[in-house]
Amino acid sequence: MLQLYGYWRSSASYRVRLVLQLKGLNYEQKTVHLGKGEQKDKVFKRINPQGLVPFLTDDEIEIGQSVAIMEYLDETYPAHPLMPSKAQDRARVRQIVNMIACDVHPLNNLRVLNYLEQDLNLGQERRDQWYRHWIDETFRALEPLLMTTAGVYSVGNEVTLADCMLVPQVYNARRYQMSLDDYPTIARIVANCEQLQAFVKAAPEQQPDAS
Please provide the distance, in angstroms rounded to a whole number, between the alpha carbons at the two ends of the chain.
26
Residue 151 has pLDDT above 90, yes or no: yes
Residue 73 has pLDDT above 80, yes or no: yes
Tens of pLDDT, residues 42-51 = 999 999 999 9
Tens of pLDDT, residues 130-148 = 788 889 999 999 999 999 9
**CA torsion, points 59, 63, 69, 75, in degrees to nearest 10?**
-60
Residue 188 pLDDT level (bands cut at 50, 70, 90): very high
Q: How far apart are CA 88 and CA 30, in angstroms?
A: 37
Q: How far apart are CA 77 and CA 161, in angstroms?
A: 14
Q: What's the pLDDT score for residue 80?
A: 96
Domain annotation for the chain: domains and CATH numbers: 2-80 (3.40.30.10), 87-198 (1.20.1050.10)
Average of per-residue pLDDT values in the chain: 94
Q: What is the mean pLDDT of residues 146-169?
A: 98
Residue 3 has pLDDT above 90, yes or no: yes
Is there a contact between 160 and 83 (Cβ–Cβ < 8 Å)? yes
The most confident of the ranges 89-93, 127-131, 172-176 is 89-93
- Which has more pLDDT, 113 or 200? 200
Tens of pLDDT, residues 106-117 = 777 777 777 777
Q: What is the mean pLDDT of residues 111-126?
A: 76
Is there a contact between 7 and 44 (Cβ–Cβ < 8 Å)? no
